Amino acid sequence: MLLRRTFFVLITAVCVYASVYAPQPILPLLAGEYGLTTSGGAFLMTAVLLPLSFAPLFYGLLLESQSAKRMLLIAIGILALLQAAFGAAESYGLLIAARLFQGVCVPAILAALTSYLAYTVDREHIQRAMTWYVAANILGGFLGRILSGWVATNAGWRLTFYLLALALAVCFAAITRIKADSRLSVSPVRPSAVMPILRNGDIARLYAVAFTIFFAFMALLTYLPFRLREIDPSCTSFMISVMYSGYLMGMVVSASATRITRFFGGEKRAMTTGLALFAAAMLLVNVPSSAGIFASMFVLCGGMFFVHAVAMGTMNKLAEENRAVANGLYISIYYAGAALGSYVPGLLYQGAGWGAFTLTLTAFIGGAIVLTRGLRFGPADKM
């Protein structure tokens, strides 16, 4: 019964996240077709992530008390058209424009989906429903990459985005048949509510950790396709997309984060261990071997998603008041890290090579370890 009530939300979430990450494994292909530099090709990821970093700060004021169903229909309809436009684009400028506007639509869809879940699922089952929702987000990111890599290798890259447009159109049609509706439960992030949260030193440190890990993570995932082509120029888009299989570790560690944290004796120790694994895997991707990189990605994604899950859970425990605002800030900060990470480190990669690139990202993760060790709650982390 719960699955039936949430099925359309989960499928829509899969399609939306697939749309966001589908271009990633084919960035070298797009860069070659449009005559772009490495960082120019990577900006196709930056373009969609930038609006996601601002949305939690401003969308609350715009979307507060709007109809969730109406917002879904408008935003999904536009996103479907933008996917088709991306597939048909004949210039780099049009590709960037399509991605920027996709980034504007996605936060509105996600806000509506979570509001619908909160409205239709009873309190007893909401935690399970949200776990499924997080898993759907991760699965969507993986499937979008696999789909685009396989289709680009076998039928040309443009077909991927027509298929995504079709999938979103099916979601649109399904939503028109839904009778239930709710108001968007989006809390505006007002400046007066932000400063008291940032004055909590532990929360501020957790925000800095979130920014840092997503900066490093998105940098690696965005420039990895170029590195794989550097190692083996015959590497196909599908072979590149398979390298993202480790991304599925996010589903495993997110569901098990509480048990793993208990095993390590508390949040601080658990986060430090996860960051150490993340850093070690970042160094291992220096191995000039596709097989070695493939194995390293499971450790890297597992470590990063575990730290993310624990950091967000800990932040919610510490933010006794204004949790909605604290969560909005967290989401904004980690997408800001992802947006900058998808572009800025690429300039270093172009100028100094892969070794300098990964060592710099490892140093960033080291900074996150220092921040984590400075958290003030005790070893048992009883909060």
> Mind listing the pLDDT tens digit for each residue in 57-110?
776 656 656 777 888 899 999 999 999 999 999 999 999 999 999 999 998 898
Q: Flag the least confident range among 136-150, 177-191, 208-222.
A: 177-191
- 142 & 239 share domain: no
Query: Which uninterrupted H or E stretch holds 261?
Result: helix 249-264
- 120 & 67 share domain: yes
- 207 & 176 share domain: no
- 195 & 319 share domain: yes
- Domain end point (choices 188, 208, 242): 188
| Averaged pLDDT, 150-165 | 98
- 221 & 330 share domain: yes
| 360 has pLDDT over 80 | yes
- 120 & 206 share domain: no
CATH of the domain at 130: 1.20.1250.20
- 227 & 242 share domain: yes
- Domain end point (choices 188, 211, 233): 188
- Whole-angstrom Cα distance, residue 76 to residue 71? 8
- 294 & 226 share domain: yes
| 379 has pLDDT over 50 | no
Q: Which of 47, 30, 19, 45 is nearest to 165 (CA)?
A: 19
Query: C-alpha distances in angstroms, 46 versus 136, 165, 227, 242?
Result: 22, 21, 18, 22
Q: What is the pLDDT of residue 185?
A: 57
Q: What is the pLDDT of residue 110?
A: 87
- 183 & 195 share domain: no
Domain that holds residue 175: 1-188
Q: What is the pLDDT of residue 117?
A: 77
Split into its structural domains, the chain has a count of 2
